[in-house]
Structure 1
Amino acid sequence: MAAPQKTRPDELTVEVVELIGEVVGRYHADYEEAAAGHALTGAQAKLLSLLSLDPLPMRKLAQKLKCEPSNVTGIVDRLESRGLVERRPDPADRRVKLAVATDEGLRVARDLRDGLQFAREPLAGLSADERRSLRDLLRRMLDT
């Protein structure tokens, strides 16, 4: 049986994909720069940002960061040694350890978010309706 023939994407789709790639690249570069300003790696900053939303078990952090649990343990160890994160037993299952951002960790995570400059100015140039449309389109892309 012959493999189904793939159709080539149209030029507009190719251009949109390339623009998304450029946006992602600029975002990562800005994120790395903001993280370095706090003597953090990108992975440490991402983990701290996740924990600023909610305490999470180590395994869930590994899933969200798309890495091995042993890597998360090392990242949490380094953040814990700086007083940005602490481990606590999960009240629902005391065998599970939660990683929790400390007050200082929450402050650093807020500073990281505030330090991201890449999209701030271009987004400010869009109307509220345009930003809502962009948000809704991105959500649709992520839901598929």
Structure 2
Amino acid sequence: MATSRTDPLTLEVVQLIGSVVARYYEEYEHAAAEHSLTGAQARLLGLLSLEPMAMRKIAQKLKCEPSNVTGIVDRLEARGLVERRPDPADRRVKLAAATATGLTTAALLRDSLDFAREPLAELSDAERRALRDMLQRMLGSGNGPDGG
């Protein structure tokens, strides 16, 4: 049975998702500021803490222009949090990678994001798995927020 986009339950769910996103970004901006970073710098550093990436891939994941990524990487590099290195698969391509200090900072940022962790702790493992699975389904992926 198809659900109307304007039924009260759908509207309530959309509003709640919006509230969750707003609170997440508010806390993320606050956590970033504690480390003298902008939210964009913190998000990029968090992404690079997972794996080194080419600028184009970073721009795709952050949904922004590659020129913006270059500026953010420049600022993080000046602080010793990120470095550029050749891609082993194609030495013409430069990868941005978190330094040891950058990895530590990214971990501190993740650890300071309590807003979602505390309410999620009140859910059972089965409830958290169900929520994860529903969010993945909404995003059209089976392996996480980036679809892979």
Q: TM-score range by the shorter chain?
A: over 0.9
Q: Kindly state the Cα deviation for residue 121 of structure 1 after the two structures are TM-superposed.
A: 1.3
Paired residues in the alignment total 138
Between the aligned partners of 1:103 and 1:88, the Cα distance in structure 2 is 14
In our comparison, the structure showing a higher alpha carbon Rg is: 1
* 1:48 maps onto 2:57 in alignment: no
Q: Kindly state the Cα deviation for residue 8 of structure 1 after the two structures are TM-superposed.
A: 4.8
Structure 2: 5+ residue runs without aligned partners? Answer: 142-148
1:93 aligned residue: 90
Q: Percent identity?
A: 73
Deviations 1:44-87 (A, max 9, x none): 00000000001000111111111111111110000000100000
TM-score w.r.t. the length of structure 1 is 0.93
2:126 aligned residue: 129
1:107 aligned residue: 104
Please identify runs of 4+ aligned residues in structure 1 that moved more than 3 A. Answer: none
TM-score w.r.t. the length of structure 2 is 0.90
Structure 1: 5+ residue runs without aligned partners? Answer: 1-6
Report the AA paired with residue 52 of structure 1: S
Report the AA paired with residue 56 of structure 1: M
Aligned pairs for 1:47-86 within 5 A = 47-86=44-83
Q: Relative CO higher for 1 or 2, CA cutoff 8 Å, sep ≥ 6?
A: 1
Backbone CA RMSD of aligned residues: 1.1
Cα 1:20–1:8 shift into 2, 3 Å: closer
